[in-house]
Amino acid sequence: MDIGTQPGWIASQGLAINRFAEVTGYFYGADYVTHGFLYQSGKAQDLGPNFLPSALDDFADVVGTNSQLVGPEMSGTAALYADGVLQNLNTLIPAKTGFYLADAVAINNSGQIIGDGILTNSDFQEYVLTPICNRDKYPISASDLKKNQHWCLAAKGILITPFSAAFGDVAVGTTSSSITVNGTNTSGSPIVFQGADGLGRFNFTTDTCSLKDGRLGLEPGASCKFTVSFSPNKAGVDEGSILLGTSAGDVVFQLDGTGTD
C-alpha cells in the first residue's frame, strides 16, 4: 500500500495496518525527530514528536513508545493515541503499583494492550492491560463500528473472548463450523445470561451460559461458553452482531462472513 509523499516528510515507514486499511508508522520531518503518524481516509495525521507507534486496532487506536518521557533504566514510556490525544499509559493504571509501563507493542479490538514493563527492582516483565469498559456505543455493522469508534465491548464485570467471530468463505445453503466464545464473570457477584437478539444468518447456541441444574447465575471468577456459526442465504459479505442480554448489562458481539456460490 502506497500512501504517497506527504508534505514536510523527509523519510517514513509504515509499521502496522488494520482491516480498514488504516496505517500507522513514523516519519522524519525537517527537525529530524521521529513523529508517529496515522493514515486514514486518504490523509496522514501527525501523532506527535518522539512517538514510535507499534500497532493499531480496528478503531484506529494506536499504541507505541514515547521516547520523550524517560522512565526507569532510561526506558521510554508506553503510550496510547486515542480520541485525538496521546496518553501516557502509566496514568491510566492504579498509582503505586511498583510497575512502570515502558512500551506498548500490540492492541486488540477488545482494547487489551501488551508490552514490557519494569519492576521496582529493575527487572523487566511483560504485561497485559485489560480495560474495564472501553467502548460506549453499540454498532451493529462494520460501517457503524467505524462511525462509533469507542463502544463498550463488555458490560461491567463481563469479559467476552474472542471479541468477534470471522467465518471467512462459506458456501450458500450450508453452515460453517462453530466458533466457541467464552464469557467470564470478573465482578464480585453472580451474573445471569438472559438471552440473545439479532441473530439473522448467524446462529447462536447457548451452551454452559444458560441457567440449568438449579444454578442461579455465573459465579464470580467462573466462565461459561456458547457457540456461533454462519448460514449464508446469498453470496457476498455478511456482517452483523449478537446482542447478549445479561443481568449486568448488554454485550455486543461482532460477526462477519462471506457467502460463496
**Given a cut of 90, is residue 205 above it in pLDDT?**
no
What is the DSSP annotation of 1-57? ----PPTT-SEEEEEEE-TT--EEEEEE-TT--EEEEEEETTEEEEEEETEEEEEE-
How confident is the model at residue 25, as a pLDDT? Answer: 95
What percent of the chain is predicted at pLDDT more than 90?
23
Mean pLDDT of the residues in the chain: 77
HSE-CB of 99 using CA atoms within 13 angstroms:
17
**Given a cut of 90, is residue 99 above it in pLDDT?**
no
Bigger pLDDT: 111 vs 176: 176
**Given a cut of 70, is residue 146 above it in pLDDT?**
no
For the domain covering 142-260, report its CATH number: 2.60.40.10
How confident is the model at residue 15, as a pLDDT? Answer: 93
H or E segment at 109? none
- Residue ranges, comma separated, of all CATH 2.60.40.10 domains in the chain are 142-260
pLDDT digits (tens, 9 = 90+) for 55-67: 998 888 999 999 8
Cβ contacts of 9 within 8 Å, gap of 6 or more:
27, 28, 29
**Given a cut of 50, is residue 9 above it in pLDDT?**
yes
As a whole number of Å, the CA-based R_g of the chain is 21
Identify any residues that bridge with 120 across adjacent strands, giving them in sequence order: none
